Structure 1
Amino acid sequence: MDKLNEILQKRFGHATFRAGQQEIIEQIIEKKDVIAILPTGMGKSLLYQLPAYLMEGTVVIVSPLLSLMQDQVEQLKILGEKRVIAINSFLSFQEKEMAIRRLADYKFIFTSPEMLQNEQFNLALRKLSIAYVVADEAHCISQWGFDFRPDYLRISTWLQSIGSVNVLALTATATAEVVDDIKKTLQMNAPFEYIHSLDRPAIAYEMIEVDNQQQKMKWILGRVTSTEGPGIIYTQSRKKTETYAAALREQGISVGFYHAKMEQSDRILIQQQFQQGQLEWICATNAFGMGIHKDNIRQIIHDHIPTSIAGYMQEVGRAARDGKQAIASLLYTPTDVEQTFYVTMQDFPEEQDIQIAYQSSYSDIEQAETTTRILTYWKERLNEHETIELFKDIKQKKWQDIQKFYTMIRNDICIRQQLLHYFDQRLIEKPYYCCSKCKMEAANILQKRTEEKNSQEELNWKKRLNILLPT
C-alpha cells in the first residue's frame, strides 16, 4: 500500500512502520474489528490516527482519563490536525453545547465512557458517519468496568444504538480473560488480533524485601539522591505521595506529587512539568502515567505490592521508551499483601451494602460514591443473590491476583519469565541485565548523580498560566 507509506512520511514524519503497525492499519481500512496488544512506546496512537486519512467519516476515541484525552488532542494538533476535540468535563456548559452543535466538523472526537451516556451527545453522534470506534487502554473495560466504572460495560449498549460500526481495541497488556471481556463488551465480530511480545528487554527488574516502612523511606531517599532519573515512585497512599515528595525536595530533588484528589489543573501542570523535564521525579498513585509521552524515564520504584501483575506491567512499562537501559525496583514487607488487599477493598461493596441497595432507595441511604455507582448498574441487571455472588467472585479474584504477585517475587524463578508467563508468553532470550533473581547488580545499571539538582521553585500564577494555557 504505497498510499500508507506516503501518509506515514508526509503527515507523521516516519520513514517506516514499526512491527505490526502496517498489518493492523490494513485490517482497519478493510473495516475489520481489531484487537491490538502492544507494549508502551510501540506507537499505538498511529494505529487509529493514520487510517482516518484513508477513510470517510469521523473517528470516535473512547479514552479513560481526561489528562490522556487532552494529551492526545495536543499531539494531533502538533501534527497539524485542527479537526480534533475532546468532549468531557473540561468544557464549560457553553463550550460543550457549541461543540456538540458543531460535531460534524471534527475528524477525531475523544470522549469518556461516561460521556457516551449523555443523551444530547448521543443524538449528535448518531447523525454522523462514523468510520470506526477506538477503545483506547481497552484493558480498563475488564479492570474497571465490573467494580469501579460501570459505564465501561455500558459501551456495549451504546455500540448497538449507533448501528453497525467497526471497533479498534488498543492496550499494552491483556490476558486471555481480559481479551474475552473486551470482545464481549465491544460487540466484536471475529476480530483480527495482533499480540506483540510484552517483554521489554531494556527494563531490568529488582525486588527488595525490607522490614518496615521506615526502611522503605530510607532506601528511596538513598536511591533517588544518589542516582540519576527521571523516575516515578508509585505508592498506594495519597498522603505518601506528598510525604515522599516533601522529603526528597528537602534533599534538593526536583520532584512533584500526583494523585486523584488534586485539582485537575494542578495534575495537568505536574504532568507537563515532568514531560518537559522541569521535574525529575514524580511521587504518585496509580492515577499517574497513562498517556505520558516521556521517552527517557530511567527508574520506576514501587513501595508496595501492586494489585495485579497486569497493573504492574502497565506502570513499569512507562520506562525505557527510548530503548535505553532502565530499572524497575519494588520494595515490600511481608505484611504488604494484607495492606494491598485492604486498600483495594476500601470502596468495594460488601454483602451488607448490596442488601441495603436492593431493599432501599438510594435517597434513603448513605454509601460511597463508587459503591452507589456500581450497584446502580448491577441492580438493573441481576437480582440480589446474583449480585452478592458476583462480588464474592470478584473479591476472591482480587485476592488471588495479589497472592500471585507475592508468590512471583518470593520464589527463585526469573521475574521476567514469570511476567511473560502470566500473559501466556514465553521468554525467548534473557537480556544481560534481567532481574534480581538472575544475579543482576543494580549498581551496574544506575548512573551516579553527577550534579546537585535544585528543588523546583513554586511557580507564580503567571508561570502556571503559561504552562496551562500556552500561546
Structure 2
Amino acid sequence: MKLESVLNQFFGYSDFRPGQKEVIESVLKGQDVIALLPTGMGKSLCYQLPGYVFNQPVLIISPLLSLMQDQVDQMKQFKEKRVVALNSFLNPDQKRATIHNLHNYRFIFISPEMLLQEQVQHKLNSMQLSLIVVDEAHCISQWGFDFRPDYLRIGEVIAKEDRPPILALSATATEKVLGDIESYLKMKNTFKFIHSVDRPNIHLGKMLFQAREDKIDWMIDHVTQTAGPGIIYTTSRSKTESLSGRLLQSGIACAAYHGGMDPLDRQFIQQQFIDGTLEWIVATNAFGMGVHKQNVRQVIHESLPSNMANYMQEIGRAGRDGEDSLAILLYAEGDEELAKFIGIDDYPVDAHVDSYIGYRARKEQPASMIHNGEISETAFRVLDYWMQQLPPEGVKQQLTSMKYAKMRAVEEVMGLIDTNTCMREKLVHYFGQTLENRPNDCCQCCGIDYKNIILLRDNISRQSFHLNWEERIKKLLLGNS
C-alpha cells in the first residue's frame, strides 16, 4: 500500500507535510506514538488517514467542546458522515442513541470527563477500536495537575492488554511534559517525532513599562495604527471587557472573550473573528485552541503568561499562513508577582485536606465542601483526585510542590523579559531544542523593526472592518447561508 495514493484518494493531496508520513507509518505498524508538530502542520491527518486504512473506529480524546465540534464540522464538510462528538452538547436522548450506535462511527470525539462515564466505558470495551488519539496531549501535564485531573485518569481507562496503539499529539512539550504524557497514558516502546518548535515567521517583541496603565495606553495607540487581525491576551476577565471597550471607542472592530461568557456568545464571537467581521479579540487564555484562522498577524500579551508552554501555544496562533507575524510581550514592574498569585490562588490548601478527612470521618460526602462554600469546584476536583492517590500528608506535600512549580514557571517566563540575548534562542532552548537559524528581525534583543513585519492601517483596511452592527450581522448570516 502506497500512503501517497491513500493521501490523494481521501484528502486530495499529493505530498505529506514534514513529519506526517513518519508518524502515520509508525501508527500503522501498531506503535504507540508521540508527535510534536507545530500549529498548522496538519496533526489531524495523522489519525484521519490511518482511520481510512484501518476502517475501524478511531477514538479521539479532545480537550474542548468547541474544538471537537469544529473538527467534526470540518470532517463533515469533506463528506465524512461517520463522525460524531460525544459530549455535553447532546441531550439525554441524543447521548443514549449516540452511545448505542457508537460502533457504527469511523471517528469518535470525546472529552476525558465523558470517557470516564461507566456507560461509555462499557460500550467502548465492547468495540474493536483501531486507534486511540489524545489530541492536545500537553493538557495531560498542564491541565491535569491544575484543574482537570480526569486527564490523569485517561491511562487507567484505556490500559487494556489488547488495546490499540495510542497516538498523542501536541504542538509543544518540554521533556517533563513528554514524560508525563508517556507515563500517564501508560504508553509502551513509544516512537517520538519531535519537530522544531521554532516558527521563523513569528517575530518576537517585548516592551517594558513603568506602570500597568502605560501598557493600556500603548496598546490603544499601537492597535489603532497597525493592521490586524490580532489577539490580545490578558489574565483578567474584567480587563478583556474594559480594553475591548476602549478599542471599540477608538474605531477598532473588537470583542472581549473569556470563560465566564455564555458558550453561544463565545462561539458567535469566535466565528466573527474567523470570518473577518472582527479584527481584534481581547481574551483570556480561554480563547485560541481550535481557532483555525490562518492570517492572524499579531499576538500581544498584556499580562505575563503563566508558563513558557502557554506562551508558545498562544503566539503559535499567529502566522499560520506562513506570512510574517508579530508577537509582543508587555511587562510592567510587579507583573510576575501578580502572575504567581493568579497561578496558585485557586489551589487547595492544607486546611482543605483536613476538612476533606473530617467529612470522610463523619461519613459525609466530601463534595459537600463545594456546596458549603469551603472550596471552589475546580480546587475540589484537584483535591479529590490526590486524596484518592496519596495519604493526607502526601497530598499536602504534592500541593506544596505544585504551587512551587507554578511559581518557578512564572520565573522562567521572566527570563524572556530579563534576557539581553536572543529571545528566540531562549524559547527554543526551553523546549530542549537548538536554534538552527535566526530570521531577519528575529526578536527585540537581536534587533527588530515592527514596520518590517506588520502593515500600518490604511483606509482600505479600516473600511473593511468599520461596519455597523446591522451590516456585521447581515454579513455573518449571509456568509453562513
Is the pair's TM-score, using the shorter chain for normalization, greater than 0.5? yes
Task: Note if 1:382 corresponds to 2:390.
Answer: yes
**Aligned-partner residue type, residue 9 of structure 1:** N
| Aligned residue number for residue 454 of structure 2 | 446
**SS, match of residue 12 in structure 2:** coil
Check whether the contact 2:35–2:169 (CA below 8 A) recurs between aligned residues.
Answer: yes
Deviations 1:350-384 (A, max 9, x none): 22222222222422643100111111111111111
| Aligned residue number for residue 408 of structure 2 | 400
| Aligned residue number for residue 206 of structure 1 | 205
**SS, match of residue 159 in structure 2:** helix
**SS, match of residue 154 in structure 1:** helix
**Aligned-partner residue type, residue 350 of structure 2:** E
| Aligned residue number for residue 375 of structure 2 | 367
| Aligned residue number for residue 424 of structure 1 | 432
Q: Check 1:5–1:120 CA distance in 2 against 1; reply closer, same or farther (3 A cut).
A: same
Deviations 1:195-220 (A, max 9, x none): 00110000000011012222111111
Deviations 1:237-272 (A, max 9, x none): 111111111111111211121111111111111111
Q: Check 1:445–1:394 CA distance in 2 against 1; reply closer, same or farther (3 A cut).
A: same
Q: Check 1:461–1:204 CA distance in 2 against 1; reply closer, same or farther (3 A cut).
A: closer
Deviation at 1:163, TM superposition (A): 4.4
Check whether the contact 2:32–2:165 (CA below 8 A) recurs between aligned residues.
Answer: yes
Check whether the contact 1:40–1:318 (CA below 8 A) recurs between aligned residues.
Answer: yes
Paired residues, number? 469
Check whether the contact 1:272–1:467 (CA below 8 A) recurs between aligned residues.
Answer: no
Deviations 1:157-184 (A, max 9, x none): 1112584221000001111110010001
Q: Check 1:462–1:128 CA distance in 2 against 1; reply closer, same or farther (3 A cut).
A: farther
Structure 2 distance, partners of 1:423, 1:107, is 35
| Aligned residue number for residue 81 of structure 1 | 80
Pairing 1:48-447 to 2, within 5 Å after superposition: 48-160=47-159, 163-360=162-359, 361=364, 362=366, 363=368, 365=372, 366-447=374-455
Check whether the contact 2:277–2:472 (CA below 8 A) recurs between aligned residues.
Answer: no
Deviation at 1:396, TM superposition (A): 0.7
Question: Unaligned regions of 5+ residues in structure 2, if any?
Answer: none
Deviation at 1:102, TM superposition (A): 1.2
**SS, match of residue 231 in structure 2:** strand
Deviations 1:433-462 (A, max 9, x none): 200001211222220101224555446998
Q: Check 1:85–1:375 CA distance in 2 against 1; reply closer, same or farther (3 A cut).
A: same
**Aligned-partner residue type, residue 250 of structure 1:** Q
Deviation at 1:23, TM superposition (A): 0.8
Structure 2 distance, partners of 1:462, 1:334, is 42
Deviation at 1:14, TM superposition (A): 1.7
**SS, match of residue 432 in structure 2:** coil
Indicate the percent of aligned positions where both proteins have the same amino acid: 45
| Aligned residue number for residue 30 of structure 2 | 31
Deviations 1:90-135 (A, max 9, x none): 1111111111111112100001000011111221112211001000
Q: Check 1:216–1:461 CA distance in 2 against 1; reply closer, same or farther (3 A cut).
A: closer
Structure 2 distance, partners of 1:124, 1:457, is 50
**SS, match of residue 44 in structure 1:** coil
Check whether the contact 1:232–1:284 (CA below 8 A) recurs between aligned residues.
Answer: yes
Structure 1 distance, partners of 2:404, 2:155, is 26
Question: Unaligned regions of 5+ residues in structure 1, if any?
Answer: none
- Length-normalised TM-score, structure 2: 0.94
Deviation at 1:21, TM superposition (A): 0.6
Structure 2 distance, partners of 1:405, 1:467, is 43
**SS, match of residue 11 in structure 1:** helix
Structure 1 distance, partners of 2:470, 2:97, is 33
| Aligned residue number for residue 20 of structure 1 | 19
Deviations 1:17-41 (A, max 9, x none): 1111111101111111000001111
**Aligned-partner residue type, residue 446 of structure 2:** C
Q: Check 1:463–1:185 CA distance in 2 against 1; reply closer, same or farther (3 A cut).
A: farther
Structure 2 distance, partners of 1:147, 1:393, is 12
**Aligned-partner residue type, residue 106 of structure 1:** Y
- The runs of at least 4 aligned residues of structure 1 exceeding 3 Å deviation read 453-468
Deviation at 1:345, TM superposition (A): 1.5
Check whether the contact 1:254–1:278 (CA below 8 A) recurs between aligned residues.
Answer: yes
**Aligned-partner residue type, residue 166 of structure 1:** P
Is 61-70 or 115-124 further displaced after alignment?
115-124
Structure 2 distance, partners of 1:318, 1:458, is 27
Check whether the contact 2:133–2:168 (CA below 8 A) recurs between aligned residues.
Answer: yes
**Aligned-partner residue type, residue 18 of structure 1:** R
| Aligned residue number for residue 47 of structure 1 | 46
Check whether the contact 1:32–1:166 (CA below 8 A) recurs between aligned residues.
Answer: yes
Check whether the contact 2:344–2:406 (CA below 8 A) recurs between aligned residues.
Answer: no
**Aligned-partner residue type, residue 356 of structure 1:** S
Structure 2 distance, partners of 1:197, 1:56, is 32
What RMSD over aligned residues (CA atoms) do the two structures have, in Å? 1.9
Structure 1 distance, partners of 2:68, 2:161, is 22
- Length-normalised TM-score, structure 1: 0.96
